[in-house]
Amino acid sequence: MADIIRLLPDNVANQIAAGEVVQRPASVVKELLENSVDADASEVHLVVNESGKTLIQVSDNGKGMSETDARMALERHATSKIQKAEDIFSILTKGFRGEALASIAAVAKLQMRTRLRGSELGTELKVAANEIESQEFCQCPEGTTIKVQNLFYNIPARRNFLKSNQVELRHIIDEFERVAMAHPEVAFRFEHNNSELFHLEPSTLRQRIVNIFGKRYNEKLVPVSEDTELIKLEGFVGKPEFAKKSRGEQFFFVNHRYIRNPYLHKAVQKAFEGLLQDDSHPSYFLFMELDPARIDVNIHPTKTEIKFEDERVIHSIIRTAVKHSLGQYNIAPSLDFEHDQQYAPPPPTHKSVEAPGIYIDPNFNPFHKEAEKPAVSGSNTSRPSSGSSSFGGSGYSNPRPTSRESHQWESLLSQIPEIPDEAEQSQLIPEEGLNKVAYIQVGRKYLLKAHGEGLMLIHQARAHQRIIFEKMMASLANQQVAAQQLLFPVQVTFSAGDFSQIKELLPTLREMGFDLDEFGQKELIVHGIPLFLENPDLDQILHQLLEEAKDYNSHSKEELQEKMAAEMAKVAALKVGTVLEPQAMAHLVDELFGCSSPYISPEGRPTIINLALNDLDKTFT
Ligand code: ADP
Ligand code: MG
């Protein structure tokens, strides 16, 4: 039989390699930006059109390439960054595999202009499908400009696989942000479709983060710093109260390379344990520096996964350092040397600090207890949910508790901080008020009611969310969302990345009762808001709504509206910690039971829990 194995031609091999290195326009952006940083550039300029589908161009003032190097750079496995395999373990550059330019040239039209520092003339190269079409001398500034056009023009399947411009742009912005954050000492500019998205001057890391993610970040960051023999850790974590629902800003960098690492992510999560609400995620920007010999960056062509020799030790260093920083920020507000005033203790999580209500009957006379008993049991029997009747039905052989015992029990459950003496206890709830005080607020969080079959507990915040949510959805369905005009319009600023996304959301936001417009490059101006949002922190709520919508592409418009309504309900609803008057409690519960799905919150969590008698019995065994 004839031999059938052949070596693949270079252009085919390169195209196959490109499958791994160049998955989308953002991959090209990443590789080109990293090459510029590796070439010691102090200024890098990215120009993108149509989310990279038609043009990606990166110019730098780095060291440039000689005429021969410019040609060599396009060969696969051609690199100036390593010479032998061991070099990988002392690598401090981003690249070393020598396949990015070859891969890009295999799937796009590529043009390069480069001039070595100190050289008179530069070189211009034009390449299509890995074939050099021309190379000539040219006048150009020192440094390198690489222009990539018509990405995937020769691989229709890949081209069709690309997502909407919106999504592809988001990926590009992500890559840009990662490189820019890893190198705050380098100036970066980024233009998309002729408008400037980022203009970052050389700065400190903190300023870079703020310049990328917006002014609001300045007050959100807590510095982290730890220097051990194994690893030097620097950076910031976000204060717990600013934690987001989406895993937005979570960055690890190792030797100035952005990496993902689920195991180390857990270390940060552990440090935040107990400080975050269930569904929110911490932000972090953590930079590790360690001996490159102790890591392996060559596990994957995109090099965002790396292997650490001492992963467990690093895990515990990160956890301890972050915990320490969070502790310092809470306990010792003035420890930050640069930004003292920003480390005020976090605001209280509840709206009101009033003491829980205690209802005292001024006419009550403790010396007439015996005489009053009949009246009390009378009122008890008329209450379907009285404590005594539920005990009575339990099958206990114990005698029915007297009304006073049930009062003690109720008052205990309401967690009144000072324990009253016996005489006062009997006054906590006036006898004739028992009919009205149907609910007891527990821990400023739950409403409790006893009924014949056990206990009902209502989560007050979630219940209110459900009510607002259903009202919102109903008015959306009727296209009758009530709005209120603001006396003074409010400006809200976004990061460039976020702004490109919130613009897409404007029609939906308007349907939901917001009256807002674009204002400049990165701002919205809000003139009106949905009626039920009272004094909202618009900056916060619009950013939160954006977070909700970030995976917009996978949702229908209705689903998006639902998610956003749920989010708004959350902002507008009563908070845990709000003290409620008896009438307010009764009203809330009435409204809850008027909802079509009273038992779950808009986010799908329980609003009502019933503890049956046998559940109670079990807890008493
Ligand atoms: P790698 O970065 O892994 O070495 P690339 O294919 O990305 O591989 O680049 C090949 C080579 O081309 C690099 O090693 C470098 O010498 C050169 N090069 C690429 N981009 C630039 C640039 N912007 N400035 C100077 N040299 C560059
Ligand atoms: Mg490279």
Residue range 453-487, pLDDT digits in tens: 788 899 999 999 999 999 888 888 888 788 888 88
The pLDDT of residue 552 is 56
Tell whether the torsion through CA atoms of 220, 222, 223 and 228 is positive or negative: negative
Instruction: Inform me whether the pLDDT recorded for 96 exceeds 50.
Output: yes
Pick from 276, 338, 265: nearest CA to 305: 265
Measured distance CA(10)–CA(305) in Å, rounded: 27
| 565 Cα to the center of ligand 1, angstroms | 49
Instruction: Determine contact, residues 74/101, Cβ cutoff 8 Å.
Output: yes
Task: Report d(CA 591, CA 423) in Å as an integer.
Answer: 37
How far is 153 from 331, CA to CA, in rounded Å?
58
60 C-beta closer than 6 A to ligand 1? yes
How far is ligand 1, taken at its centre, from the CA of residue 73, in Å? Answer: 6
Q: How far, in Å, CA of 545 to CA of 563, rounded?
A: 9
Which residue's CA lies nearest to atom 14 of ligand 1? 79
Residue entry with tokens 């373990």? 89
Which of 78-82, 494-498, 503-507, 550-554 has the lowest average pLDDT?
A: 550-554
Q: What residue's CA is closest to ligand 1, atom 16? A: 80
The pLDDT tens digits of the residues spanning 591-603 come to: 998 888 888 898 8
Ligand 1 contacts CB of residue 248 (under 6 A): no
Q: Which of 181, 216, 234 is nearest to 540 (CA)?
A: 216
| Cα–Cα distance measured from residue 441 to residue 414, given in angstroms and rounded to the nearest whole number | 6
Helix (H) / strand (E) containing 143 = strand 143-149
Q: What is the pLDDT of residues 32-75, one digit of tens each?
A: 999 999 999 999 999 999 999 999 999 999 999 999 999 999 98
**Listed range (159-168, 281-290, 367-376) with the worst mean pLDDT:** 367-376
Rg of the chain in Å (alpha carbons): 32
| Tokens encoding 570 | 């959350």
Q: Is the pLDDT higher at 520 or at 192?
A: 192
Which segment of 99-103, 476-480, 553-557 scores lowest on mean pLDDT? 553-557
**213 close to ligand 1 (CB < 6 Angstrom):** no
Please state whether beta strands 43-49 and 187-192 pair in parallel, antiparallel, or not at all (unpaired): parallel
Mutational test site, ligand 1, from 33, 79, 123, max ligand atoms within 8 Å of CB: 79
Q: Is 62 in the pocket of ligand 1 (CB under 6 A)?
A: yes
97 Cβ inside 6 Å of ligand 1: yes
Q: pLDDT tens digits for 316-329?
A: 999 999 999 998 87
Question: Does the Cβ of 585 fall within 6 Å of ligand 1?
Answer: no
Least confident of 261-275, 297-311, 450-464: 297-311
Decide: 86 and 287 in contact? Cβ < 8 Å.
Answer: no
What global pTM score does this model have? 0.66
* Rounded Cα–Cα distance for residues 364 and 347 (Å): 40
Could you tell me which residues are beta bridge partners of residue 237? 222, 284
Q: Which amino acid is at 191?
A: E
Q: Measured from the CA of 96, which atom of ligand 1 is nearest? A: 3
Q: Which atom of ligand 1 is nearest to the CA of 93?
A: 2
Which residues lie across from 136 on neighbouring strands?
Answer: 124
Of all ligands present, the nearest one to the C-alpha of 142 is 1
Question: How many whole angstroms from 235 Cα to the centroid of ligand 2?
Answer: 26
Question: pLDDT tens digits, residue range 15-31?
Answer: 777 777 898 999 999 99
Tell me how far the alpha carbon of residue 61 lies from the centroid of ligand 1, in angstroms. 14
The response to whether residue 475 sits with its C-beta less than 6 Å from ligand 1 reads no
